[in-house]
Amino acid sequence: MSQAMRDFLRQHNIHEVECVITDMTGIARGKILPKDLFLNEGEMRLPKSVLLNTVNGEQPNNQPYVGATDPDMICVPDLATIRVVPWAAEPVALVIHDCQNFDGSPVALSPRAVLRRVLQLYAARGWVPVVAPEMEFYLVARNSNPHEPLAPPLGRSGKPESGRQSYSIDAVNDFDPFFLELTSFCKLHQLGVETLIHEAGAGQMEINFAHGDALELADRVFLFKRAVRETALRHGIFATFMAKPMESEPGSAMHIHQSLLDAAGENIFSRPDGSPSPLFFNYIAGLEKYLPAATLLLAPHVNSYRRLSRFMSAPTNVHWGYDNRTCGIRIPNSAPANRRVENRVPGVDVNPYLAMAATLACGYLGMAEDLTPSAPSADSAGHVHDQLPRNLEDAILRMRQCGPLSDILGELFVRAFCEVKELEFETYSRVISSWEREHLMLLV
């Protein structure tokens, strides 16, 4: 255990340490250890199979991916991620761990390892990805009955929101106690949250992060989701990161802004004269070509496709355009030094490590293959609905058939992730909905 980590635990009078990894869904897994045991052990062991849990806790046949004996992996703490847990009743620290085999190699099934694998491809070319996620989520009234629809919570006014409140300051202020505590938690938790706005839906909020390193931002998004949910519970409400939690309200996205720096810190999407570089257009072309195959990582649940629907406002295309929000790939107006690409396809229900890995992998393939994009869309692309998968089953099939993405993300990981998602789809497909009972039971 490093001296810096020992100093941190002593400085903050830490009693316990949450030793955390993320599974494929993005759920925090791990152990809570007393400080002395954490310092003495120096690492944590977990079964490799814990990475393969579905969102409802099932596992596919894991033998092809972890072996017949269900062996352990070694989880090594990453010093850069150590933080105080601000909502804990007594001093508690959290450390995100990397999953390794006993020979020190990364566990290919680990989402953090998948993102590291993609970033290493960039590093080999002297490039550094810079990303900035925008996260939408809903505050909802407590609901213990999954058969009842979700509803907006009551704010300080004692009334729920009854209409669209895009960018409303007063609508945000109605939840001042919640946001004041969340802001405090985010600061203590070192999450780097930059901007808060009210989005279009009733009770829908958006948080923007300061741009930075892709792995660090994935860590922060992972921790932010937990911070929001914990804060909401303390205020008697729920927070949800479902892609489409309410039928009459818009879905929630995690738009990802991305650019690339060279070794000198210059944006390689711009030439010295300020014009777009060839690599900029290659990157866009990579997103155009490979986003349909990567959609499973950007829309990983059955509910995701209620947002990515031709009946909703979210983009269901891979067109690109300048300052065009109807396109799946938007180029914001910016100075040449800040030239970037915004991927508007991901929902906020993603595993952030896998969403970052997916979008960066698509862009990388565009540059590696020297692809040329289509012409930019100057008009609305809202009528284009046939470029992305329509449902989870379709997305699984497309990812399984894409060799270049498997090569970049790891063939073992892709096969395992598809099998996890196929099990989720199988479980979901057995459920008979209330709509079917209401409209079909006695009428067909």
User: Is the domain of 237 the same as that of 311?
Assistant: yes
User: Is the domain of 190 the same as that of 295?
Assistant: yes
Question: Average pLDDT for residues 11-40, to the nearest whole number?
Answer: 95
Buried b (16+ CB within 10 A) or exposed e, 257-287: bbbbbeeeeebbbbeeeeeebebbbbbbbbb
Count of H-run helices and E-run strands, the chain: 14, 15
DSSP helix/strand/coil, 18: strand
Cα–Cα distance measured from residue 18 to residue 15, given in angstroms and rounded to the nearest whole number: 10
Q: Establish if 423 belongs to a structural domain.
A: no
Buried b (16+ CB within 10 A) or exposed e, 48-79: bbbbbbbbeeebbebeebbeeeeebbbbebee
- pLDDT of 167 > 70? The answer is no
Question: Average pLDDT for residues 132-153, to the nearest whole number?
Answer: 90
Q: Establish if 217 belongs to a structural domain.
A: yes
Q: Establish if 144 belongs to a structural domain.
A: yes
As to burial, measured by CB atoms within 10 angstroms (0-12 exposed, 13-18 middle, 19+ buried), residue 342 is: buried
Residue with tokens 């909703």: 312
Q: Establish if 193 belongs to a structural domain.
A: yes
Q: Establish if 136 belongs to a structural domain.
A: yes
pLDDT tens figures, 362-416: 999 999 999 999 999 999 888 888 899 999 999 999 999 999 999 999 999 999 9
Residue 18 belongs to domain spanning: 3-107
Q: Establish if 439 belongs to a structural domain.
A: no
**Count of CA atoms in the C-beta half-sphere (13 A) of 376:** 13
Quote the tokens at residue 421. 């998602």
Lowest mean pLDDT among 102-116, 172-186, 291-305, 326-340: 172-186
User: Is the domain of 38 the same as that of 14?
Assistant: yes
Give bridge partners of residue 133 from the DSSP assignment: 256
Give the angle subtended at the CA of 67 by the CAs of 63 and 71, to the nearest 5°.
Answer: 120
Lowest mean pLDDT among 53-62, 175-184, 211-220: 175-184
**DSSP character at residue 270:** B
**Number of domains forming the structure of the chain:** 2
- pLDDT of 424 > 70? The answer is yes
User: Is the domain of 80 the same as that of 214?
Assistant: no
Report field, pTM of the whole predicted structure over 0.85: yes
Q: Establish if 332 belongs to a structural domain.
A: yes
- pLDDT of 29 > 60? The answer is yes
User: Is the domain of 214 the same as that of 318?
Assistant: yes
User: Is the domain of 126 the same as that of 49?
Assistant: no
CATH number for the domain spanning 29: value is 3.10.20.70
Tell me the C-alpha to C-alpha distance, in Å, between residue 46 and each of 52, 70, 76, 443.
Answer: 12, 10, 11, 52
Q: Which residue has the higher pLDDT, 254 or 167?
A: 254
User: Is the domain of 157 the same as that of 274?
Assistant: yes
Q: Establish if 58 belongs to a structural domain.
A: yes
Tell me the C-alpha to C-alpha distance, in Å, between residue 144 and each of 137, 141, 148, 233.
Answer: 19, 10, 9, 13
User: Which among 126, 131, 125 has a CA at the least distance from the CA of 368?
Assistant: 125
User: Is the domain of 202 the same as that of 338?
Assistant: yes
Cα–Cα distance measured from residue 162 to residue 140, given in angstroms and rounded to the nearest whole number: 13
User: Among 107, 140, 172, where does a domain finish?
Assistant: 107
User: Is the domain of 327 the same as that of 191?
Assistant: yes
Mean pLDDT of the chain: 93
Cα–Cα distance measured from residue 253 to residue 242, given in angstroms and rounded to the nearest whole number: 9
User: Among 74, 107, 140, where does a domain finish?
Assistant: 107
- 165: pLDDT confidence band, cut at 50, 70 and 90? low
Q: Phi and psi of 220, rounded to 5°? A: -70, -40
Please report the beta strands in 286-328, taking only residues with DSSP state E, as ranges in sequence order.
320-322
As to burial, measured by CB atoms within 10 angstroms (0-12 exposed, 13-18 middle, 19+ buried), residue 120 is: exposed
N-term to C-term CA, the chain: 67
- pLDDT of 240 > 90? The answer is yes
- 168: pLDDT confidence band, cut at 50, 70 and 90? low
CATH number for the domain spanning 334: value is 3.30.590.10
Looking at residue 170, its pLDDT comes to 65
Cα–Cα distance measured from residue 173 to residue 395, given in angstroms and rounded to the nearest whole number: 40
Q: Which residue has the higher pLDDT, 3 or 331?
A: 331
User: Is the domain of 267 the same as that of 190?
Assistant: yes
User: Among 66, 86, 107, where does a domain finish?
Assistant: 107
DSSP helix/strand/coil, 335: coil
Contact criterion met (CB below 8 Å) for 51 and 23: yes
Question: Average pLDDT for residues 121-143, to the nearest whole number?
Answer: 96
Looking at residue 42, its pLDDT comes to 81
Looking at residue 213, its pLDDT comes to 97
User: Is the domain of 58 the same as that of 156?
Assistant: no
User: Is the domain of 164 the same as that of 199?
Assistant: yes
